[in-house]
Amino acid sequence: TERPIGIDDLSFSTTHYRLDQDVLASRLGVDAAKLHTGLGQDAFSVPATDEDIVTMAATAAQPIIARHGPERIRTILFATETGVDQSKAAGLYVHGLLGLPATCRVVELKQACYSATAALQFATALIARDPGQQVLVLASDIAKYQLGSEGEPTQGAAAAAMLVTADPAVLRIDPCSGVYSEDISDFWRPNYRTEAVVDGKLSIDAYKRATREAFADYQRRGGRYLDQFAAFCYHQPFTKMAYKAHRHLLEHAGTPGPDGDSRTTTDASDSATDAADLDAALAATTHYNRAIGNSYTASAYLALASLLDHRKDLADQPIAVISYGSGAVAEFFGGTVVPGYRDHLRTTANAHAIARRQPIDYQHYQRLHHESDLTDDADRKIEQQTTAPYRLAAIADHQRIYEATI
Ligand code: CAA
């Protein structure tokens, strides 16, 4: 029998600052309940000027390297849509900061919020060839929209780091997965912009359709039925989106399974609108994203971390991950939580990463928002703000200079 492959360790980091949605609500003159209940967001992470996707990714990966050592890592896959360079992979800075082996391939992957899932699937294929190696998957992003735009309350920032191995301690990834792609302009960021362009309503519809189609593909390929999963870890641009998408899936997942049985259709009518069922499937996955905001590629994996940290009963349970990246690509895959998984979680560190952020007022947030528009064509030194272990220290001769702070 083949050895299982999947996530052996999962860690995340976020930023030094946070903006509470209440601050934004009073500034925008909108009802705070729209943001807390309507979008399902309480706050979002705001990077200090010496934080970026590299410092967040290094901070997320550092405890994984401390626990497992760097020796067996032969590949680093860095997923992001907040790239800091058009040529050099951001993972190389992390490789240097963490002292990872020279006998390692390092690349960056892009497809909006989806590419960490591609990275995870590529990692499983590499390990199937050589089960002795480990792959470090990094997903790091900063969600930034224009001040005063509809998207502003759905900003955020975080990095997830995952060690992918044979005989994983946390999640065995099933070989079966479903995918869907379509060329659509629901959300994108042209090279000359630091902020995304988005058609919010179109993006929500595109997300729902892509989820439904990816699941239909999954079922045609012999995947599990919806009611067999203990929980669903959705990409969460705002946590309410997971509820919208899951309700849509329950209502439309009528594609017959390989044996012609379409159990999901008949069950759907009973449960689709049942809020308690939706909560049972989703609530535990939303705690981190509700506090951090959209972290694009990292979001679905923060949902996974939240689920594992908040549910004690998942040993041997199948769970689903649903990844959506505008543009658009979606993937639906399942996995089984490994018995003993709780001994490998980082629950305390995760709570700390969220609680330690400094709340800022609107003026401070606005200043940071403007400063993050600066480009790298002028040399500058950057004062230390973050208390994270790595920071961006300067721009010199068009190079980004990172340093360890401890
Ligand atoms: N109390 C409670 N709820 C309230 C309320 C109140 N006082 N006032 C409004 N609401 C509810 C609304 O009813 C609505 O809920 P439903 O969708 O369930 O009807 C919710 O609050 C949001 O209200 P609006 O639809 O009016 O919100 P909006 O038009 O201002 O913007 C948005 C919402 C389109 C998501 C916008 O924030 C946006 O464009 N965000 C960026 C794009 C995005 O996140 N898209 C998600 C899918 S694409 C993707 O997933 C990729 C990615 O990461 C970007």
170: DSSP letter: S
H helix runs in 164-274, sequence order? 200-220, 239-252, 263-271
DSSP assignment of 275-318: HHHHHHHHGGGSHHHHHHB--GGGHHHHHHHHHHHH-S--TT-E
Model pTM score: 0.96
Query: CA 344, 104, 111: angle at the middle one, nearest 5?
Result: 75
Q: What is the pLDDT of residues 242-259, one digit of tens each?
A: 999 999 999 998 644 445
Question: Please, which pLDDT band fits residue 192 given cuts at 50, 70 and 90?
Answer: very high
DSSP assignment of 39-75: I--SEEEE--TT--HHHHHHHHHHHHHHHH-STTEEE
pLDDT higher than 50, residue 211: yes
Phi-psi region of 365 (alpha: psi -120 to 50; beta: other; left: phi over 0): alpha
Q: What is the pLDDT of residues 67-119, one digit of tens each?
A: 999 999 999 999 999 999 999 999 999 999 999 999 999 999 999 999 999 99
pLDDT higher than 80, residue 343: yes
pLDDT higher than 90, residue 264: no
Q: Determine whether 202 is exposed, middle or buried from the number of CB atoms within 10 Å of its CB (0-12, 13-18, 19+).
A: middle
Residue identifier of the C-alpha nearest atom 7 of ligand 1: 34
Identify which of 200, 188, 177 has the alpha carbon closest to the alpha carbon of residue 113: 188
Q: How much is the pLDDT for 52?
A: 98
Q: How much is the pLDDT for 374?
A: 87
Q: Which residues line ligand 1 (CB under 6 A)?
A: 31, 33-34, 37-39, 113, 150-151, 153-154, 187, 198, 200, 203-204, 207, 235, 237-238, 241, 294, 296, 324, 326
Q: How much is the pLDDT for 376?
A: 86
**What's the mean pLDDT in 211-231?**
97
Among candidate residues 16, 95, 235, 248, the one labeled active-site is 235
Token pair recorded at residue 95: 């490789």
Q: What is the pLDDT of residues 6-29, one digit of tens each?
A: 999 999 999 999 999 999 999 999
State in Å, rounded, how far the first CA of the chain is from the last one.
46
Compute, in angstroms, the gap from residue 336 CA to the centroid of ligand 1: 32
Token pair recorded at residue 222: 């012999």
3 state DSSP class of 120:
helix
Cα(26)–Cα(37) distance, integer angstroms = 16
| Contacting residues for 63 by C-beta, under 8 A, at least 6 apart | 11, 346, 349
Q: How much is the pLDDT for 253?
A: 83
| ipTM of model | 0.98
Return the higher-pLDDT residue of 188 and 270. Answer: 188
230, 236 Cβ separation under 8 angstroms: no
Compute, in angstroms, the gap from residue 307 CA to the centroid of ligand 1: 23
Q: How much is the pLDDT for 220?
A: 97
Q: How much is the pLDDT for 375?
A: 84
Cα(199)–Cα(186) distance, integer angstroms = 5
Residue 175 parent element (H or E) = strand 171-181
pLDDT higher than 80, residue 338: yes
